[in-house]
Amino acid sequence: MSSATNQTNQLLPLELIDKCIGSKIWVIMKSEKEFTGTLLGFDDYVNMVLEDVTEYENTPEGRKTTHLDQILLNGNNITMLIPGGEGPD
C-alpha cells in the first residue's frame, strides 16, 4: 500500500471533530467536570460550543448534574472528547 493511500484513509483530529458537528459528544475536562451535549461548533484551539448540555461534576457529596441550554468550553481545559458519548454511568 502506498503512503498516498494511507493518508487518504486517515483523518486529522480537527477533521474528526468537524464530522461530529450536530451530533452528541462527551467532553471530559481537566477539572472534576464532564459535559455531554450536541456540538454546535469549534475553532482551531478546540474551544467548543455545545447545546442541550448536561454537566456532571464529581463532588465529595457525590456526582452533581446540571442541565444547561448552551455552553462555551475552553479548549485548553479539555482532556478528552468522545464522539457519540452518552456521559458517565
pLDDT tens readout for residues 55-66: 999 889 999 999
Grid cell 477539572 is found at 31
Which grid coordinates belong to 17?
A: 471533530
pLDDT value at position 1? 47
From 2.40.10.10, 3.40.50.300, 2.40.10.120, 2.30.30.100, which CATH number describes the 22-83 domain?
2.30.30.100
Instruction: Report if pTM > 0.75.
Output: yes
For the chain, strand residue ranges (E) read 24-29, 33-42, 48-59, 62-73, 78-83
Which residues of the chain fall below pLDDT 70?
A: 1-8
d(C-alpha 54, C-alpha 24), whole Å: 11
pLDDT value at position 38? 97
